[in-house]
A and B are shown apart, each in its own frame.
Chain A
């Protein structure tokens, strides 16, 4: 067995286990941490598949930025208790189950049919020179317009979120008290 295989056999159960444990976990912070474990192990798989740039992106963007923001929000809003199991939207659970089954079926069919990656293994990537430089060439030469369009889209989304979340200038008496406990904040205040 090669070193890659040993690493895979060690990490694959951790990855899947962390994913399942995340779903079963009631505590929001623990769930977020298990998701981080999952993301990091998937990142290491990318590394083993000779795609180091994907590894870096996975760690920096998902594990490093998005999950830290998740944790930040969880801690700031104090929602780290068990959530009440009521459906905020009607038929949400039914719809979720249906969608989940649909996506699973889609994934199974896609993997079985080998869409797009039938004949390519890690060796093929190494031969075609799918390294960071090649990726940069693809992004900034061949696909520069879609790439820039996506970045503009993201900026628009960020600005829109800021505008939507901006508080109206409150009257001088109603001073916000910094960290608002999620339980104490009345719904109409949040919506205002």
Chain B
């Protein structure tokens, strides 16, 4: 590696970082506008054309606000918690391939910061570190509402991480690689969302819980916990939490696009071949995020015990069964050949359909009905 390589690397990091910041800025604006539209309001209109600069204005305001450290707070942990909350979200994005590559100064520059052989596991590792920011913020505030929010959050995130991992395991078994660029390659013919639709659903639900987005925003439920783990935070530190949460949303949506929706793939004309993948990726991420905003505008917040029950009793068993089925789909045709497996699957499926039709007929009728 010579100086130019290092410069290109630094440049890529800077561009991705800045790009994420701008994306988050526009995303917050979009979310407010979309929700406003769904509630037949105007939403932010003043800063910039149609209020597009509202996030910038909010950010500047927060930056100049006084940052208060509560007297009861554990000072070092309190100060570092917002940074810990924000960092993993950015780091997780480093392995996402958001385009093909472009040739700059005679070097090929890929649109992906790093392509480690552990790909998906890197994303999972960063997701599992993300919970620290919330837990530490809640604990170090030295106040009860944040502590409750933090306890809820750690329970929620640990639980839904399992469901999310199961969805990812199914995809990586199907694609046969952990490397995200190879998973995108594997979707050249058909996007994973079709053969792996159950995993896609599990991933989207778990993603909502991982990012503390409504209807799973129990850690910061304002009707019961004031603002949950960040109640005591103000000024720029609060802004960091907010930023981390939205970067996380972008990352979760990007992983969904990469694993299930074909990544940067899409029909492209021959002009400027490196632009189209970027645009496709952006459009797909926007579509997923729009879905999340839609869910937020539609569904009420779920009660905490129901949230945990759903995670443990529905999502995880379902994910496990799907992993098992995926294993069967991947391995059995290699062992027994395609024909017998398809026939066997058809027989099992037919038996299930028959059973579901026949079960109500065979069930002994209630006593009252028998008497008639």
* A53 and B121 within 8 A (CB): yes
Say yes or no: is A72 at the interface (Cβ < 8 Å to chain B): yes
Task: Mark B117-137 against chain A: 1 for CB-CB distance below 8 A, else 0.
Answer: 110011011111101100110
CB distance from A167 to the nearest CB of B (A): 17
Q: A30 contacts which of B77, B118, B129 (Cβ < 8 Å)?
A: B77
Q: How far, in Å, is B135 (CB) from chain A's closest CB?
A: 6
CB of A18 within 8 Å of the partner chain: no
- Is A76 a contact of B77 with CB atoms below 8 Å? no
B167 within 8 A of A: no
CA distance A72 to B155 in the complex (A): 8
Do residues B128 and A75 form an inter-chain contact, with CB atoms below 8 A?
A: no
Residues 49-94 of A contacting B (Cβ, < 8 Å): 52-53, 55-56, 59-60, 63-65, 68-69, 71-72, 75-76, 80
The one of A55, A65, A71, A72 in contact with B118, judged by C-beta atoms closer than 8 angstroms, is A55
Distance from A28 Cβ to chain B, minimum over Cβ atoms (Å): 11
B169 to chain A minimum Cβ distance, whole angstroms, is 12
Question: Which residue of B116, B117, B124, B132 contacts A60 across the interface (Cβ within 8 Å)?
Answer: B124
The chain B residue sitting closest to A62, CB to CB, is B128
Contact A56 B151, CB 8 Å, known A64-B128, A65-B158, A75-B135 = no
Judged by a CB distance under 8 angstroms, whether A11 is at the interface is no
Contact B178 A132 (CB under 8 A): yes
Q: B141-200: which residues lie under 8 A (CB-CB) from chain A? A: 147, 150-151, 154-155, 158, 161, 178
Asked whether B121 lies within 8 Å of A75 as measured between CB atoms, the reply is no
Q: CB within 8 A of A33: which of B131, B136, B150?
A: B136
Would you call A36 an interface residue if the criterion is a C-beta within 8 Å of the partner chain's C-beta atoms? yes
Q: Is there an interface contact between A72 and B151, defined as CB atoms closer than 8 Å?
A: yes
Instruction: Tell me, rounded to whole Å, the shortest Cβ–Cβ distance linking A151 to chain B.
Output: 13
A145 and B333 CA atoms in complex are apart in Å by 24
Instruction: For chain A, residues 9 to 36, give those with C-beta under 8 angstroms from any C-beta of chain B.
Output: 27, 29-30, 33, 36
**Which A residues are in CB contact (< 8 Å) with B126?**
59
Q: Establish whether residues B129 and A56, one from each chain, have CB atoms under 8 Å apart when the complex forms.
A: no
Tell me how far the C-beta of B353 lies from the nearest C-beta in chain A, rounded to whole angstroms. Answer: 33
- A-side interface residues, number (CB < 8 Å): 24
Complex CA–CA separation, A63 to B130 (angstroms)? 11
> Which size class do B's interface residues fall under?
20 to 34
Instruction: Tell me which residues across on chain B come within 8 A of A52, comparing CB atoms.
Output: 116-118
Identify A131's interface contact among B117, B131, B147, B158, CB under 8 A. Answer: B117
Contact of B125 among A29, A64, A72, A80 (CB under 8 A): A64
Complexed CA–CA distance, A150 and B138 (Å)? 36
Which of B118, B154, B178 neighbours the largest number of chain A CB atoms within 10 Å of its CB?
Answer: B118
Shortest C-beta distance, A181 to chain B (Å), equals 13
A131-B117, A132-B118 are contacts. A71–B135 as well, Cβ < 8 Å? yes
Inter-chain contact B135/A33, CB cutoff 8 Å: no
By the criterion CB–CB under 8 Å, are B77 and A33 in contact? yes
Report chain B residues within 8 Å CB of A53: 117-118, 121
The reply to whether A29 and B128 form a contact with Cβ atoms under 8 Å apart is no
Question: A60-B128, A75-B135 are known contacts. Are A68 and B118 too (CB-CB below 8 A)?
Answer: no
A176 to chain B, nearest CB (A): 15
Distance (whole angstroms) from the CB of A80 to the closest CB of chain B: 8
Known interface pairs A52-B116, A52-B117, A53-B118; A72-B124 also in contact (CB < 8 Å): no
Contact B128–A65 (Cβ < 8 Å): yes
Of B74, B125, B138, B154, the contact of A56 (CB 8 Å cutoff): B125
With known contacts A56-B121, A56-B122, A71–B129 Cβ distance under 8 A: no
Complex CA gap A63/B147 in Å reads 21
Give residues 272-318 of B contacting A (CB, 8 Å): none
Is the C-beta of B203 less than 8 angstroms from some C-beta in chain A?
no
* Given known A-B contacts A53-B118, A56-B125, A72 and B154 have beta carbons under 8 A apart: yes
Residues of A within 8 A of B147 (CB): 75
For the complex of A and B, the 8 pairs showing the least CB-CB separation, nearest first, are: A64-B128, A56-B121, A59-B125, A52-B118, A56-B118, A72-B154, A60-B125, A75-B139
22 chain-A/chain-B pairs, Cβ below 8 angstroms: A40-B129, A52-B118, A55-B118, A55-B125, A56-B118, A56-B124, A59-B125, A59-B126, A59-B128, A60-B128, A63-B125, A63-B129, A64-B127, A65-B128, A68-B135, A69-B158, A71-B135, A72-B135, A72-B154, A75-B147, A76-B151, A132-B118
Given contacts A55-B125, A132-B118, A132-B178, 15 further A-B contacts (CB under 8 A): A27-B74, A40-B129, A52-B117, A53-B118, A56-B121, A56-B124, A59-B125, A59-B126, A64-B127, A65-B128, A65-B158, A72-B135, A72-B158, A75-B139, A75-B147
